[in-house]
Amino acid sequence: MTPTTTPGVPLDPLAERALIAETLIASAARLMAVRDELELVRGVCVAMCGASQHIRLAWTWFGDEKSDVIQPQAYAGVASDYAARTLIRRSRLTEPGPVFRTLGGKAPEQFPVSLDSPYGPWRELAQAHGVRSVMAVPLKSTLSGMGGLFVIYADHEDYFHEVGESLFTALGELFSSVLTSLAERTTLEQAVNHDALTGVLNRHALPIIERRLLRRTPSDPLSFLLMVDVDHFKAVNDKLGHAVGDQVLHKVATALRGVLRPDDSVMRWGGEEFLVCLPGTQHEDALLVAEKLRRAVAELAGPAPVTVSIGVAEVMAGRALAASIDIADQAMLQAKGAGRNRIVYRD
């Protein structure tokens, strides 16, 4: 296999450093307009790899410093296929730890790469892409226990010594701030969008779910809403106390989640009501899911066996989601009026 690096391209360290820096500065305004943190990091990697004829790959990872697995999250370069399929396990790493040794460290480390590299994947990079050196920059987070890596692959043995580490450590500091911001926002969204009692989503998450449900045209995939209400829940609280009532709600929420697909969502709508969202679902499947939910709750064991009444409504193209939720709610009330522990569909 012939290396994809351009043979005979000399390395001018000062020109290389200036070119990368100028490219990043020139693209800064465009990159800073990107709202997704990982896309911002990827954009920087794309700009850097595009500016240099010698950087073959750059990738980043961010997560728990004690994680057993590292998998690139944002990457760019002609060797991106390597990053896309790279999964490094701490427990299975028998070589000298070219990545995990840097994770959690205070300083970047450089590693030589050759056709005889002891680390197998790097032998492949040396052959396929002419990689001769790798630099791993630790990412530092203000969140306790979180860390990350910024890893760059170049086609010259002394590339990082000659060009200088400072350019890449500076990018590492930038990535640290960006990825810490992502982690903080994710943690905040988790707290804001989830119900503390049941662990399912709450109403604050509806704008996020809405994007997956709304149908702009009749040809868009069907979506359905299920309003699920626990029958006679007030009697449970009155007779057995609110602590038991809380246990019941938690068990019902767990039962609902156990039936749903990964792309489905369930949120606590209020009190003893839950809204189940089924994107990309056919009419008969929505009714089948509703029946599975009804049965799953009815079969729950516990201090207070309960049932649920379920209203089903289709998310119509051109109709506001709030209107579809209202129709599902009306269908649920109709199910209660008809004797509870049943399902009613309304269009």
- Which are the catalytic amino acids? 272
- Rounded CA-CA distance 343/347 in Å is 14
Token pair, residue 213, equals 């449900």
Helices (H), the chain: 13-26, 28-32, 37-51, 80-84, 120-129, 159-163, 166-193, 206-213, 233-240, 242-259, 283-298, 321-337
- Rounded CA-CA distance 166/132 in Å is 20
What CA–CA distances, in Å, run from 317 to 28, 214, 287, 314, 327? 40, 7, 19, 9, 14
Contact 274, 306 (CB under 8 A): no
Report which residue type is found at 10.
Answer: P
Residue 250 makes CB contacts below 8 A (sequence gap 6+) with 197, 198, 199
Q: Strand 133-140 to strand 88-89: parallel, antiparallel, or no bridges (unpaired)?
A: unpaired
Query: For the chain, what's the residue count?
Result: 347
The three-point CA angle 56-60-61 to 5° equals: 145
Residue 292 makes CB contacts below 8 A (sequence gap 6+) with 259
Q: Which burial class, exposed, middle or buried, applies to 102 when counting CB atoms under 10 A from its CB (0-12, 13-18, 19+)?
A: buried
Any idea of the CA torsion for 337, 339, 341, 345, to the nearest 10 degrees? Answer: -50
Q: At what angle do helices 166-193 and 37-51 cross, to 10 degrees?
A: 160
